[in-house]
Amino acid sequence: MNTNTQTHTVKSFGEELDRLSDDVARMGGLVETLVSDCLQAVMRRDGELADSVIERDRQVDQMERDIEKRVIRLFALRQPMATDLRMTIAAYRISHELERVGDLAKNIARRCRVLNESEPHEMTRSVERMGRLVISQMHEVLNAFSAGSLDDAHSAMKTDDEIDEIYNSLFRELLTYMMEDARTISPSTQMLFVAKNLERIGDHNTNIAEMVHYVLTGEDWRRDRSMSDPDRES
Amino acid sequence: MSTVYHDTKIENAKVELDNVGVTYGSKTAVSGVALRIPDRSVTAFIGPSGCGKSTVLRTINRMNDTIDIARVSGSVKIDGEEINSKSVDPVVLRARVGMVFQKPNPFPKSIYDNVAYGPRIHGLASGKAELDAIVETSLKKAGLWNEVADRLDQPGTSLSGGQQQRLVIARAIAVSPEVILMDEPCSALDPIATAKIEELIDELRENYCIIIVTHSMAQAARVSQMTAFFHLGDLVEYGPTEAIFTNPRDQRTQDYITGRFG
């Protein structure tokens, strides 16, 4: 994202900042694909796709390290100020959030392997619905970052409440299944982990949205999420 | 143009400027400057060359009086007292408001006499012992005592640039000023000497109101608590240094601070 109307007097500084934000956007794109693919893998019981998600997550880790290096370099050599400072900090933190999302996608892909060993689970559709919402939230938040859109960032934060609600109801439903039929305990637990990972991805997306809010306004977005922690309610 | 003020409560304003304007002949250097500068803190004036920051600084100890074609309008108050009124003696005023310049300008006298000069002409010491004490305290406050204690009789000009600048600060402190104005005090110094002056500024702010003009934004960020940004003779934005450097409100401040001035 570029929030400045004027270009840098020192062109190479401006180019470094642009490149940093491009890299974060590219990393976001890759992570978004991983989330979408790991969900597909679970839905279609596609073990190969799951393996490919696990493999591509290493690329995400490498990207995070590259961004981190570039951020350190910018601080050491350029001493960014004002919007540039906020953008640099945001790039650092967002890349960390994205790396976590990549790990969660990898976890979901691993669950897929285990799920494929048992009968198809009846709850798959509901988890898919939740997954679609998480993906659209992620799309929104990455768009908020690329386009510098405060509206998209705020909308993504709101979506998180919806995701938490779906997770809570999924949790109760899966418990019911397990109580009714002990043989479903193993796949239901796997499904629960998938849902939990998706819920966590929603939280990371929200953190990214908060960083976008910070870059654009210079103000901290404080949200007391402990009150709506889905695990506490259940 | 109107100034952007961050809503910071300044309860202990030492220096108050209201609608200050300065013209040199027919040319307007600055206009409509209003600022409340807190005591016991460092306020930095930043802005591109020719923006009027040094001109505003010089209104605070009436240095513009020395320029024939300069005309100062508006009000400048120290502790609520108008300094441009006829009853204020500029010589006495400049003892209350000390100044340090870009290039160190020690008198062609000994280190001791450089510092003792002010107290002598203002009659601040009643005897040799008292004068010795003032010289020692001032040099200590300026962080120079340990380096010059054994050679006070040597010429001030024999010191290094950084030492000379600290000598000049000691000279300013010796007359017990309340406000210290610094016009680019480090621009002729190397990074180590600069760091020593910055450390000194940080110590001095416990007792003085310090106003510093600097071209180095990094220095303004390091030493000051409040920052005022000037552009083309206007005060554009004034607020806590941290806010100015992380979240400036005016586009011009933003462009200047991030290095985007076209």
> What is the distance in angstroms between the Cα of B237 and the nearest Cα belonging to chain A?
14
Please give the average per-residue pLDDT across B111-118, as a whole number. Answer: 96
What pTM was computed for the model?
0.83
**pLDDT band, residue A123 (cuts 50/70/90):** confident
Residue range B75-84: mean pLDDT, rounded: 96
The yes-or-no verdict on residue B230 having pLDDT over 80 is yes
pLDDT confidence bin for A143, thresholds 50/70/90:
very high
Average pLDDT on B111-124 reads 94
What per-residue confidence (pLDDT) applies to B199? 92
Which residues of B are less than 8 Å from A85 in CB distance? 245-246
Give the residue with greater pLDDT, B102 vs A98: A98
Q: What pLDDT was estimated at residue A107?
A: 97
Q: Which pLDDT tens digit goes with each residue over B19-42?
A: 999 999 999 999 999 999 999 999
Find the mean pLDDT for residues A115-128.
Answer: 86
SS3 A1: coil
Tell me: pLDDT of B8 over 90.
Answer: no
Gap from A8 CA to chain B (nearest CA, Å): 4
Q: Identify the pLDDT of residue A234.
A: 39
Angstrom distance (rounded) from CA A42 to CA A198: 12
Confidence of residue A227 (pLDDT cuts 50, 70, 90): very low
pLDDT tens for each residue of A80-90: 999 999 999 99
pLDDT digits (tens, 9 = 90+) for A182-226: 988 999 999 999 999 999 999 999 999 999 999 999 988 765 444
Looking at the complex, does the CB of residue B254 fall below 8 Å from at least one CB of chain A? yes
Q: Which residues of A122-138 are buried (b: 16+ CB within 10 A; e: fewer)?
A: ebbebbbebbebbbebb
* pLDDT tens readout for residues A93-112: 999 999 999 999 999 999 99
Q: What residue segments make up the domains of chain A, in order of their start? A: 12-233
Q: Model confidence at A231, in pLDDT bands (50, 70, 90)? A: low
Sheet with strand B97-100: strands edge to edge: B4-5, B234-240, B226-231, B42-46, B209-213, B179-183, B97-100
B207-225 mean pLDDT: 95
pLDDT at A228 over 70: no
Evaluate whether the domain defined by A12-233 bears CATH number 1.20.58.220.
Answer: yes
Three-class secondary structure of residue A49 per DSSP = helix
The confidence score (pLDDT) of residue B188 equals 84
In angstroms, the first-to-last Cα distance of chain B is: 20
Neighbours of B60 (CB within 10 A): 25
pLDDT of residue A118: 86
Chain A residues close to B254, C-beta within 8 Å: 4, 82-83
Confidence (pLDDT) at A225: 47
Give residue B9's pLDDT band: very low, low, confident or very high (50, 70, 90).
confident
Structure confidence at residue A223 (pLDDT): 54
Q: Touching check for B7 and chain A: CB below 8 Å?
A: no
**Complete domains list, chain B, with CATH:** 4-257 (3.40.50.300)
Contact status of A79 with chain B (Cβ, < 8 Å): yes
- Supply the pLDDT for residue B262: 56
| Rounded distance between C-alpha atoms, residue B196 and residue B213, angstroms | 17
Distance from C-alpha of A198 to C-alpha of A167, rounded to nearest angstrom? 9
**What whole-number percentage of chain B has pLDDT above 90?**
85
Mutate to test the interface with B, among A10, A15, A18, A81 (most CBs of B within 10 A): A81
CA nearest to A218 within chain B: B247
Is B261 in Cβ contact with A81 (below 8 Å)? no
Q: What is the pLDDT of residue B1?
A: 66
Q: Residue A82 is nearest to which of B218, B245, B262, comparing CB atoms?
A: B245
Q: Of A6, A10, A82, which has the smallest distance from its Cβ to B257's Cβ?
A: A82
User: What backbone phi and psi angles, to 5 degrees, belong to B238?
Assistant: -140, 130
pLDDT of residue B209: 97
Average pLDDT, chain A: 91
Give chain B's mean pLDDT.
94
Interface test with B, best of A2, A4, A6 (most B CBs within 10 A): A6
Q: What percent of chain B has pLDDT above 70?
A: 99
How far apart, in whole angstroms, are the C-alpha atoms of residue B188 and residue B185? Answer: 8
CB A95 within 8 A of CB A159: no
